[in-house]
Amino acid sequence: MLTKSLHRGVLLTLTLLVFLLLAACGPKSSGSIVEGKVNVVTTFYPIYEFASEIGGEDVNAINLLPVGVEPHDWTPRSQDIISTSKAQLFLYNGAGLEGWVPNFLKSLDNDSKVQSVEVSKGVDLIMTDEEDGHDHGGEGAGEAEGHTDSLHTDPHTWVSPKSAFIMAKNIKESLQSVDPAHKEGYEERFNKLAERLEALDSKFTAELSKLPNHEIVVSHQAFAYLARDYGLKQHAIMGLSADAEPRSQDLLALADLVKKEGIRYIFFEELVSDKLAKTLAGEAGVSTMVLNPVEGLTEAQDKNGDNYFTLMEKNLQNLILALQ
What is the DSSP code string of 215-262?
EEEESSS--HHHHHHHT-EEEESS-SSTTPPPPHHHHHHHHHHHHHHT
Contact by Cβ (8 Å): 280, 258? yes
**Whole-number minimum distance, CB 63 to Zn ion, in Å?**
17
User: What does each C-alpha distance from 136 to 92, 146, 150, 239 come to in angstroms?
Assistant: 31, 10, 10, 13
Nearer to Zn ion (CB atom), residue 167 or residue 178: 167
Binding track over 33-72 against Zn ion, x by CB under 5 A: ----------------------------------------
Residue selected from 89, 208, 222, 322 as contacting Zn ion according to rule CB under 5 A: 222
Closest CA to 208 of 309, 310, 308, 316: 316
* Complex with Zn ion: residue 85 or 292, whichever CB lies closer: 292
Which range of residues in 28-36, 104-112, 216-224, 305-313 is near Zn ion by CB under 5 A? 216-224
Minimum distance of Zn ion from residue 240's CB (angstroms): 6
In the complex with Zn ion, which residue's Cβ is closer, 240 or 286?
A: 240
Q: Which is nearer to Zn ion, 54 or 240 (CB)?
A: 240
Work out how close the CB of 12 gets to Zn ion at its nearest, in angstroms, rounded to a whole number: 48
Q: DSSP character for 5?
A: H
Q: Which residues in the 224-263 window bind Zn ion by CB under 5 A?
A: none
The residues, any chain, with a CB within 8 Å of residue 186's CB and separated by 6 or more, are 54, 55, 56, 58, 172, 175, 176, 179
Is the Cβ of residue 222 or residue 244 nearer to Zn ion in the bound state? 222
> Per residue in 86-115, is it b (16+ CB within 10 Å) or e — as a string?
bbbbbbbbbbebbeebeebeeebeeebebe
State which residue has the least CB distance to Zn ion: 222
Shortest approach of Zn ion to residue 235 CB, angstroms? 16
159 binds Zn ion (CB under 5 A): no
Q: Starting from the edge strand earliest in sequence, which strands make up the sheet with 265-268, in order? A: 233-236, 215-218, 265-268, 287-290
The minimum distance between CB 17 and Zn ion, in angstroms, equals 42
Q: Which is nearer to Zn ion, 38 or 222 (CB)?
A: 222
Q: Which is nearer to Zn ion, 222 or 263 (CB)?
A: 222
**What separation in angstroms does the CA of 38 have from each of 22, 45, 171, 236?**
18, 18, 13, 40
Largest interatomic CA distance in the chain: 90
Q: Work out how close the CB of 126 gets to Zn ion at its nearest, in angstroms, rounded to a whole number.
A: 13
Q: Give how many residues touch Zn ion by CB under 5 A.
A: 1
Positions in the binding site for Zn ion (CB under 5 A): 222
